Amino acid sequence: MHTRKIGPFEVSALGLGCMNLSHAYGTPPEPAVAAGLLLQALDLGYTFFDTAALYGFGANETLVGNTLKDRRSEFVLASKCGMQGVDGKRVIDGRPETIKQTCEDSLRRLQTDVIDLYYLHRWDKTVPIEDSVGGLADLVKAGKIKTIGLSETSSATIRKAHAVHPITAVQTEYSLWTRNPEYGVLETCRELGIGFVAFSPVARGFLTGKLRDVSNFEPKDIRRAMPRFQPENYAANLKLLDGYAQIAAAVGCTMAPLALAWLLARGRFVGRALVDGIVHLPLVMPPVVTGYLLLILFGRNGWLGRPLPYACHVVDRGQDRFERLQVRVEVGDDRDAHGQRRRLDRRGRAPSPPPPR
């Protein structure tokens, strides 16, 4: 498998996101099945495994630890803190003392002496980012973790954190369907020499082409709460997949590998994916195919919206009104939001992101 660099680590270009082996997308597989998939991934050359204290409220780290402890030297291990389960509920807590205790708990569950890459899963906005990263820096000094990462943070927050301690990687959702990082985050990572890890690169199943009916999601499936997976919105998005399926057939692969190839062709990123088990990626994305994909998914004269192209509405920042457009945009307080619409050029390329405000 091809490899890419994340800080001091050489890892497989596709990592294994372990989250839905324990929760998120309906009933997880039986432990024996999940363990078998982890071992199969390692045997096939996956050398980057991603888990978190939040996933299954510790169950995912326990699964990874029990399964891979005897092969710990064969892969780079990433986990996350700052968001975990407390009394059965998800809690965001970025206080340094909480981060340090979470790390101790993770080390015990993972059955390892050190975590290679430790992300702040979410920025706790009640705690200055400098304080949270300071707590992580203490863990580096103590030898508990080797490097520090951030997840779902803006360019401005990345810069503040990097000034306290070098940030090795930023992890954010990125795919043909979710383009948020193109508004500043990717450029900031390039400028500062920070690795970028894309999660949900096949759009939580959408870009596999196999998820046709979203009305039967299980009660605990996190996609039930996402607007783009609401039946009316999803039906509109499914219409975009016909042309995409034709391109995949012409290239000679199924939809999921094509989505991953598109992502890896965008830059020296690392994809984090788990799609129907192990994904094989035997193709290289020609530039002309990249352009066609943009044209198919967004239309020759379509808009590229920020950050989630739902084919429905735009939610304007700070306003309660809705405006009919071709995309829906949801803006978080800690994301690079410009509220600007951008046209594709004739080759399917988007203009450079606007400068920070």
In the chain, what are the domain boundaries?
A: 3-284, 288-343
Beta carbons of 237 and 297 less than 8 angstroms apart: no
Q: Tokens in use for 322?
A: 């809705």
Q: Show the beta-strand stretches assigned E in the chain.
A: 3-6, 9-12, 14-17, 48-50, 76-81, 83-86, 89-92, 115-120, 145-151, 169-173, 195-199, 270-273, 303-304, 313-315, 322-324, 342-343
User: Is 55 a residue of the active site?
Assistant: yes
Candidates 55, 119, 234, 244; catalytic one? 55
Q: What pLDDT sits at residue 114? A: 98
Using an 8 Å Cβ cutoff, are 331 and 258 in contact?
A: no
User: In the prediction, which pLDDT does 356 show?
Assistant: 45
Are 46 and 18 contacting, i.e. CB atoms less than 8 angstroms apart? no
d(Cα 315, Cα 303) in Å, to the nearest integer?
15
User: DSSP code of 253?
Assistant: S
CA dihedral 180, 211, 20, 52 (to 10 degrees): 0
For residue 101, what are the CA distances in angstroms to 94, 108, 128, 143?
Answer: 11, 11, 18, 14
Cis peptide before 201 (omega within 30 of 0): no
DSSP at 175: B
Spatial distance between the Cα atoms of 9 and 96, rounded to a whole number of angstroms: 26
Chain center to CA of 192: 20
As given in the structure block, the two tokens for residue 222 are 């996190």
- List of E strands, 183-273: 195-199, 270-273
**Dihedral sign of CA atoms 86, 92, 93, 94 in order:** positive
Alpha-carbon distance 205 to 207, whole Å? 6
Place of tokens 């990263």: 133
Contacts of 269 (CB under 8 A, 6+ apart): 4, 174, 195, 196, 197, 198, 263
Residue at 104: amino acid letter: E
**Residue among 9, 343, 56, 4 at smallest CA distance from 198:** 4
The CATH number of 3-284 is 3.20.20.100
Q: How many residues does the chain have?
A: 357
- Apex CA 120: angle with CA 118 and CA 125, to 5°? 165
328 neighbors 348 (Cβ within 8 angstroms):
no
Per-residue confidence in pLDDT tens, the chain, 357 aa: 788 999 999 999 889 999 999 989 989 999 999 999 999 999 999 999 999 999 999 999 999 999 999 999 999 999 999 999 888 889 999 999 999 999 999 999 999 999 999 999 999 999 999 999 999 999 999 999 999 999 999 999 999 999 999 999 999 999 988 988 988 999 999 999 999 999 999 999 999 999 999 999 999 999 999 999 999 999 988 988 888 898 888 888 889 888 888 888 887 766 665 433 344 444 455 555 655 565 555 443 333 323 322 222 222 222 222 222 222 222 222 333 333 333 333 333 444 444 444
Global pTM value: 0.80
DSSP state of 288: H
Query: Three-state SS for 153?
Result: coil
Buried-exposed string 30-44: b where 16+ CB fall within 10 A, e elsewhere: eeeebbebbeebbee
